[in-house]
Amino acid sequence: MKRIVVLGGGISGYGSAILAKKKGFDVFLSDSGRIADRYKARLDEWAVPYEEGGHTEERILAADEVVKSPGIPEKAPVVRRIREAGIPIISEIEFAGRYIGRARTICITGSNGKTTTTSLIYRILRDAGYNAALGGNIGESFAYSVATGDYDWYVLELSSFQLDGMYRFRADVAVLTNITPDHLDRYDYCFQNYADSKMRIVRNQHSRCAFIYSADDPVIAGQLPRHELRMRELPFAARAAVASGAGNAFLCDGRFTATVGRASVEIDTAQMKLKGLHNAYNAMAAALAALAAGVAPEQVRRSICAFDPVEHRLEPAGEYGGVAWINDSKATNVDSVWYALESMTRPVVWIAGGTDKGNDYAPLKEFARQKVRTLVCMGADNAKLVAEFTGVVPQIVSTGSLDEAMRAARDAARPGDAVLLSPACASFDLFKNYEQRGELFKQWVAEHLG
């Protein structure tokens, strides 16, 4: 019997372990930290043996194959020893993809916009009556959905870490929103390594597959000649001219037209609940993906116009005393913040900071100079942010906690302003994750202002 070891007991890990158990493998899950009670309950339900608080190396190195959770870096000692032992390491995506049968996949990656785009595609398919599951980096574990359901479509948000462990898996419809510097600490601070990871989204695609990508993104444009593309190309753009015999989408004067083959839909972005240029890009990508999946154009239009913003991404948290409070905690890199600042129509009190991932803040300085009244730095170490924006914004306040940052933002804001939490950094210095950071932001606003 083939022995499968799953490293990591989070949402990716427990799903992989349960799928391995269902497929009859000798499976063992190991987590160096604590496994959440809800995940342990499911592992117990499926009689999956596991350990937490450390790794039993002898048992791990007896594996025929290891499924590694995306949050575990290659530099982790246990991963290095597995590599040295010559044991194959794959991702949950690669593992689950072996067992989807005739089901089809729509896979979305990119430095920014992938959560909104993935959620929007899933909403369109479900509204159209498709038997679809949402998974990958959001929703339920892809592997758990495969183990416990029977779906025709899987809509998957994929991070670069998930793509790194993908070898034979194929996306029937691949969406690449953009490539901007992010997670460089995991890629030896080499941007090309990160870009190569993102381009794995087109791996194994053939002529019946579709590749949807931003024609406005200069990095993607530079990567395309490095790959032999056999699939249907479906570019979308607001700046560059786009032309493809298979179809495309183009935004002009607030309206975009998306076309795939003979199917076409035109959408007025003013009718969308999603606002801002970044969401116009997301909507174009989603429209192309849905049309490629066979959804009727009118259904695509209805679903896109009715779709509400994703939590923690430019999410209104209330307006009090003429000041709008906006939760953009999911903006964990510079490019996300660029789109957030681009969309601001009021003077901004900007809350930023956290765990810096090798950020280059230069692209933000022009918007900061034009729109930001006060920068409130919120982090364990704010020295880099303070140095970068001194002389760019009129006032900078350095704080070391959420409560301190929120009080500083409240004091700085005037009627007509917007307080924007858009950190440009990971959350791990002060918070468990960006979700907790966003929830605490909203909670503070409700308790102290509502």
Active-site annotation, residues:
114, 137, 183
DSSP character at residue 363? G
Taking the C-alpha atoms of residue 158 and residue 117, their distance in angstroms, rounded to an integer, is 12
Stated length of the chain: 450
Helix (H) / strand (E) containing 255: strand 255-260
Handedness of CA 115, 121, 122, 123 (dihedral sign): positive
Helix (H) / strand (E) containing 44: helix 37-45
- Bridge pairing between strands 173-176 and 26-31: unpaired
Query: Measured in Å, how far apart are the chain's first and last C-alpha atoms?
Result: 59
109 close to 175: Cβ distance less than 8 angstroms: yes
| 237 beta partners | 250
Q: For 64, phi and psi rounded to 5 degrees?
A: -85, -25
- Among 156, 138, 174, 165, CA closest to 70: 165
